[in-house]
A and B are shown apart, each in its own frame.
Chain A
């Protein structure tokens, strides 16, 4: 940008001078969370509040008719509404909703609805959707137009000249976000011209997109509250069909309505990570140079298109490449953004392919990667994770281990990339009162990343105060504007605005204090809870004394986005060490390591948590998760947390999260990047451990045994 830096523009201090930022900061809302006092949308209880539930169609495609009358006769049921009739488009489509005085009565009401279904032909998987004469799930047929990048002939010619060629098909299942707090809202509209909507969302202000219209109000008449939210991972923007139903019921009944999906609803109608099928062909030279790549990629995103980072081969540099990407539509709910949409799918296939080529050429897979990654940052990160996981002393680098008692131990690697930059749209009000209070206010939401904490920390750093001297107010649409949290953009969008506001306010306060203290403004230092003349220690005020010079109105400033405080474009590398029992096929992950860059680390502890969380989710995706729908009956077979298993404590290995301190840039969001490479690293470790190359996730024991040729 050619924008000229205004003279008062803020800058991050040198890292060595930071006393709050770039340290381990226990999150400011920690006490509320560990004591069960943090209030989530699920926990909102209001006088006269009704409990609502939705009825989801249990078949992928059916002609639906509803008889709501029996539900209205259930004691306690106050409202029953139809959401749709006629032909449904996907399994789990909400068709009706009930509001009642108790959750039990709402469930009775739901069960009393007579839902008559005439099943229509459906397609719930790739095979059904692409069969001849398949029932149409997409608007324009079941297979989208292809997106082609690169020249196929050139790429094929490059592969033809290669010393080693690998062709393989990699498949990844549909994954669920499995947010522990289901999607939902509490709509409090008791008539009149004011309503409050509590919502479990990734965007406080996205609530104002839909809710006012549904309530017949203006945006200015609706307040959105997102005090705490129990996980989103990309699936929670706007109020959704569930929010619309709650608005309709609250408006009709004049009472607050609490509508949260139940766990089964959440599994069929609250979004997912698109499945992926990738047939890849690639060749490399004897000395380990990637030459040609041809990729044929299908996304399975239900009624949505799904995600995949097309355009060129994922991260690795090939001399020539051609990538074709298409979507296949099915009668299942639309995929939604899920933490690094498309990247974990692309990464698994590419990292497996690269590993297969390295093995074929008997080249150390770490070396092979380093030779084919242009960006030197990756080489630094790969070396760091290799050291930490014990690769230098690992005995079998280019061939699977010799098995002792049928047990193999192996190590694998993978890398990731993401943007993580931000933009305009966040404004922050920072205010000091004469009793010494400091408040930073912005309507943004905290998904668990620690937004509240870094908002307070940036202001504390600016004024030389301890973290607990600053209060961060967030999660309320009456506060200053903020962008929704998607694509790891929040930190790089919001943190610069906080810094900008805090710096402006410090300038104003310094000007005021300079007069009172008779000191040149430029010589005033804010540090250690005091304001002092840096050349005359006697001229010094405690924070309390300094603030006492202010009037009743206090002092405040509004921060806006300052782009030079943030950056974009991050890297990460991960290594996994596994133990494979070749008699049972069981994979045990022993250790995972990640090194990640993220510019200026605002809160090192929250960053390590984010990195470890990404590795846990990747482990879970790689070993456990898969949506299963029976193509014959159309039933969702694992729409619950025992049959759809996510990683539990017994699956969690030792984890090491390394922050790359050589990255001197401004702030960058890192959450997405950390979930991308872990399952690929595990798959490569499994191969290194026992020679089983698993190309289909999740890596369940049967697949290990099949890959070893032990079972058909």
Chain B
């Protein structure tokens, strides 16, 4: 598929309006289109000249993840999600890559205690910030109360969206442990679940809110 410029892409496409119109016109008139134009990186002329633009280049940065200092080699354009999943050793794959443009919430993590989409942040911008991922919330043997409530209410089916929902609602409940249904729904409004577990998620979140407001963790 063509890569139109992505919101999360730290290197906005150099596609110019002139080039785009030229490319689009090519379709309408039955002309020849080079993929570079569609993809927005290489112009037809550039490709013909054999130019290759290198966008790579790694630096090692330090990030504070789940309370631990971690070193990770990233490119300037590497997202926090890419750093966590693909570059950290060992990786943290709980946050999921689903839409890659901040539309599904599957990569939700906490940055300085606030929910954030890891696909929309550049890893290099997060030096000195406190990052918490689903792995930092609880483990299978010691689930956090919200996680335990998700389990109890069957709030995950395929489970691919689950870490994102847990992190979004955890942030919502940390902000207001007495959150009601409306606030919980708003707190995870940006999260998508295709299996349709939302009713169970709401039930799980409401029960956890009740526990938290009584002074649980």
Using a CB–CB cutoff of 8 Å, the interface residues on chain A facing chain B are 24, 26-27, 29-40, 42-43, 45, 51, 55-56, 58-59, 67, 69-70, 73-76, 92, 102-105, 107-108, 110-119, 177-182, 228-231, 233, 262-265, 267-269, 447-450, 605-606, 608-610, 612-617, 632-634, 636, 639-642, 646-650, 652, 654-655
| A-B pairs, 4 with minimum CB distance | A36-B94, A616-B196, A115-B35, A448-B158
Q: Does B95 touch A at the CB level, under 8 Å?
A: yes
Known: A37-B94, A114-B42, A231-B160. 8 other contacts (CB 8 A): A29-B159, A30-B154, A34-B156, A105-B56, A233-B194, A609-B197, A633-B24, A641-B192
User: Which residue of A55, A105, A111, A180 is within 8 Å of B104 (Cβ)?
Assistant: A180
Contact B36 A114 (CB under 8 A): yes
- Cα A309 to Cα B187 in complex, Å, equals 41
User: Which residue of A39, A110, A180, A609 is within 8 Å of B93 (Cβ)?
Assistant: A39
Interface of B is mostly: loop
Which chain B residues border A636 with CB–CB below 8 Å? 1
Contact B54 A229 (CB under 8 A): no
Contact B134 A606 (CB under 8 A): no
Closest to A453 in B: B154
Contact A649 B157 (CB under 8 A): no
CB proximity to A under 8 Å, residues B156-205:
156-163, 166, 185-186, 188-202
- Cα A633 to Cα B29 in complex, Å, equals 10
Contact A74 B86 (CB under 8 A): no
CB of A202, distance to nearest CB on chain B (Å): 11
- Cα A702 to Cα B160 in complex, Å, equals 34
Contact A36 B196 (CB under 8 A): no
Using a CB–CB cutoff of 8 Å, the interface residues on chain B facing chain A are 1-3, 24, 26-28, 30-36, 38-39, 41-42, 47, 50, 52, 54-56, 75, 77-78, 82, 85-87, 90-101, 103-104, 106, 133-135, 137-141, 143, 147-148, 150-152, 154-163, 166, 185-186, 188-202
Contact B36 A67 (CB under 8 A): no
Contact A73 B52 (CB under 8 A): yes
CB of A13, distance to nearest CB on chain B (Å): 24
Contact B197 A613 (CB under 8 A): yes
Contact A33 B104 (CB under 8 A): no
User: Given contacts A31-B143, A108-B54, A230-B160, is CB(A36)–CB(B1) below 8 Å?
Assistant: no
User: Given contacts A31-B140, A35-B147, is CB(A649)–CB(B198) below 8 Å?
Assistant: yes
- Cα A119 to Cα B193 in complex, Å, equals 37
> Can you offer 7 A-B residue contacts whose CB atoms are under 8 A?
A26-B154, A30-B156, A104-B75, A180-B192, A230-B96, A613-B195, A613-B197
Contact B160 A180 (CB under 8 A): yes
Contact B197 A37 (CB under 8 A): no
Which chain A residues border B195 with CB–CB below 8 Å? 231, 448, 609, 613, 616
Closest to B158 in A: A448
User: Given contacts A74-B54, A108-B56, is CB(A42)–CB(B97) below 8 Å?
Assistant: yes
Contact A58 B38 (CB under 8 A): yes
Contact A111 B41 (CB under 8 A): yes
Which chain A residues border B50 with CB–CB below 8 Å? 69-70
Contact B1 A265 (CB under 8 A): yes
Contact A31 B154 (CB under 8 A): no
Contact B104 A641 (CB under 8 A): yes
CB of B214, distance to nearest CB on chain A (Å): 21
Closest to B163 in A: A36
Contact B32 A116 (CB under 8 A): yes
Query: In the complex, which of the residues A32, A447, A617 has the most CB atoms of chain B within 10 Å of its own CB atom?
Result: A32
User: Given contacts A40-B160, A178-B194, is CB(A35)–CB(B54) below 8 Å?
Assistant: no
Contact A612 B160 (CB under 8 A): no
Closest to B102 in A: A642
User: Which residue of B90, B134, B186, B194 is within 8 Å of A180 (Cβ)?
Assistant: B194
Contact A116 B143 (CB under 8 A): no
Contact B147 A43 (CB under 8 A): no
- Cα A235 to Cα B115 in complex, Å, equals 32
User: Which residue of A55, A262, A613, A634 is within 8 Å of B35 (Cβ)?
Assistant: A55
- Cα A104 to Cα B200 in complex, Å, equals 37
Contact B94 A609 (CB under 8 A): no
User: Which residue of B26, B157, B191 is within 8 Å of A613 (Cβ)?
Assistant: B157
Which chain A residues border B106 with CB–CB below 8 Å? 180
CB of B185, distance to nearest CB on chain A (Å): 5
- Cα A55 to Cα B36 in complex, Å, equals 12
User: Which residue of B87, B189, B202 is within 8 Å of A102 (Cβ)?
Assistant: B87
CB of A271, distance to nearest CB on chain B (Å): 14
- Cα A58 to Cα B190 in complex, Å, equals 29
Contact A609 B154 (CB under 8 A): yes
Contact A640 B101 (CB under 8 A): yes
Closest to B85 in A: A43
